[in-house]
Amino acid sequence: MISLKNSLVLLFVSCSFAFTACQSDPPAPPDTATVILRNETYGPKPRNKMDVYLPKNRSEQTPFLILIHGGAWVAGDKADMNALQDSLLSRGIVSASINYEYATATVHFENLMQDVATALEYCGQQAEDWNTREDGFMMGGMSAGAHMALLYAYQYDVPQQVAGLISAAGPTDLANVDYLNYSMLIGLLDEIEKLVGAQYIVGQAVPARFSAASPLAHIRHVPTLLLHGDNDLVVPYAHSTLLAEALEEAGYPHKLVTFNGANHDLGLSNPVYLQLLLTEIKDWCFAYGQ
């Protein structure tokens, strides 16, 4: 059985890039030097930590992408995104990969959304010290992290700090009966129930909280990039096509990039698909994050 956590590991192991800072150079001002901050505390919870990658020559106009790791909402770590952050750094994009409170029997999507809000607020507050933007952040993630990014930006971003979204294989409709039945077969239903704080029983009406936790039920005008393999055995490709159709009908900017034949890892062991992923992310960040 393929898990979201294992697929995430496959995804970002395959997207590892080397980045070597010049250690012999004298210290430079923060805005002209590359800076990497690990385990930066952004809130009061034990898992409120982030890794921040600040490219040289950055300014308040530089795109800033906040990344949310996957792991079925109950596992994973911000370090899973570090390889991607290396690549973004070399492309002149600021990034922050965040940890967040795991879903449990008593911790549900509202708690996770609060962590995202706290991380966004913290990044805005550091604008002067980091020489970065105060708002207009890009946000994205892989799998469960992509779901969280979509849900936050569509439903919880009251101050409208998110300028654009990037979803890599993210689930969008947790209230879909076919998906819930399928998630039961692949061993994912327990994690979904922890996230939403309700139980799905076959043959009974799906509780409203499943819809409340579904990005598809809350779309709004946030430019959205969808990256998905059409042979995904964890989060079916239909999650992205349905969201793309809803965004199209609403007239909201979006793009669906299909990784033909790829499973949940987007087929990133193929250098062609890896380059496609990085190009699409870079282009989206510079199109909507400046």
Is the distance from CB of 253 to CB of 224 less than 8 angstroms?
yes
User: How high is the pLDDT of residue 175?
Assistant: 98
Q: Residues 1-7: what's their mean pLDDT? A: 42
Q: Is the pLDDT of residue 52 over 80?
A: yes
SS3 64: strand
Q: How far is CA 14 from CA 10, 11, 80, 228, in A?
A: 6, 6, 11, 16
String of b and e for 229-257 (b: at least 16 CB within 10 Å)?
beebebbbbbbbbebbebbeeeeeebbbb
Q: Residue for token digits 């990014």?
A: 149
Q: Which residues contact 148 (CB under 8 A, 6 or more apart)?
A: 68, 73, 100, 109, 112, 113, 116, 141
- Beta-sheet strands, E only, within 144-223: 162-168
pTM attached to this predicted model: 0.90
In tens, the pLDDT along 70-127 reads: 999 999 999 999 999 999 999 999 999 999 999 999 999 999 999 999 999 999 999 9
Q: Residue for token digits 């979201």?
A: 4
Q: Is the pLDDT of residue 15 over 50?
A: no
- CA–CA gap between residue 39 and residue 252 (Å, rounded): 36
Q: Is the pLDDT of residue 18 over 90?
A: no
Q: Which H/E stretch holds residue 228?
A: strand 224-229
Structure tokens at 135: 């708002």
Q: Residue for token digits 């996770």?
A: 112
> Between 12 and 152, where is the model more confident?
152
Cβ neighbours around 24 below 10 Å, total: 4
Q: Can you name the CATH fold of 4-172+219-288?
A: Rossmann fold (3.40.50)
Residues in the chain: 290
Average pLDDT, the chain: 91
Is the distance from CB of 224 to CB of 165 less than 8 angstroms?
yes
* β 137-142/162-168 pair status: parallel
Question: Which of 158, 261, 277 shows the shortest CA–CA distance to 226?
Answer: 277
- CA–CA gap between residue 184 and residue 103 (Å, rounded): 18
